[in-house]
Amino acid sequence: MELLSWGDRGWGDEMVRAALMTLTVATAAFLLGTVLGSAIAALRLARARPLRAVGETYTTVLRAIPDLLIIYLLFFGSSQALQWAAGLFGYHGYLELSPFMIGTIAIGFVSAAFAGEVIRGAVQAVPRGQIEAAKACGMPTALRFRRILVPQVARYALPGLGNVWQVTLKETSLISVVGLVEIMRQASVAAGSTRQPFTFYAVAAIAYLVLTTGSNRLFGLADRWANRGVRRA
């Protein structure tokens, strides 16, 4: 374990920084996926058939294509897209997204496909009678959304979003292919440098286990807090 010690000869500080990078990317991708997933859920629940078709197409395509392929498509295609867009405004220099941005966007887009289904199911779980009662009382649409729909959708969606978070956290291991130094990338570099792959990949496994276990506890606490009034009733 001397190789993992703190200091000039050890890899402990590098592994900690890599774990923090993993957590940062996962958080950014999860937030992006939740926001985009809310929009996808709204499309899936829209009355207009074309809007529903857009939402269904998004979830079908993003859940069907392997996540690694999406990362590669974004990695190799984003520069061309950015340069083409910049050329419309007269700029012809080289542009590219950072590995952090590529990882966040790619994983966030995939996360949105799953989060959208979770949120859609949560909206459909809200009793329609409550919405109708609020309408009968003359409650405005914005107030119904804020006081009735959002709190219950958040409560119903929380367990499913917890699963989406776990998947998002583990999918960050794929972005090592674009050079971002997260847990898997750092473990690979350390394993190649020391020629002790088992040690560092075992440390990577432990790091993921700690992050996922801690996340489970936090989502469990949040779920109990969200349901505290329901259980007392």
CATH superfamily, domain 16-232, is MetI-like (1.10.3720.10)
**Mean pLDDT value across residues 102-124:** 94
Question: Per residue in 61-103, pLDDT tens?
Answer: 999 999 999 999 998 888 888 887 777 787 777 778 889 999 9
State how far Cα 191 lies from the chain centre.
Answer: 28
Please report, rounded to a whole number, the percentage of residues in the chain having pLDDT higher than 90: 56
Residue-level pLDDT at 147:
80
Give per-residue pLDDT as tens, 126-179.
888 777 887 778 788 787 778 888 888 888 999 999 999 999 999 999 998 888
- What was the pLDDT predicted at 102? 92
Using CA atoms, how far apart are residues 80 and 83, in angstroms rounded to an integer? 5
Q: What's the pLDDT score for residue 3? A: 61
Question: What is the residue extent of each domain of the chain?
Answer: 16-232
- What is the average per-residue pLDDT within 27-37? 96
* pLDDT exceeds 80 at position 45: yes
- Does the pLDDT value for residue 5 go beyond 70? no
Q: Is 34's pLDDT higher than 70?
A: yes
- DSSP of 35-102, one letter per residue? HHHHHHHHHHT-SSHHHHHHHHHHHHHHHHS-HHHHHHHHHHHHHHHHHHHHHTTT--S-----HHHH
pLDDT tens for residues 173-224?
999 888 899 999 999 999 988 888 999 999 999 999 999 999 999 998 888 8
Instruction: Determine the pLDDT at residue 142.
Output: 80
| Residue appearing with tokens 């690979």 | 188
Give pLDDT, residue 233: 46
Q: What is the pTM of this model?
A: 0.88
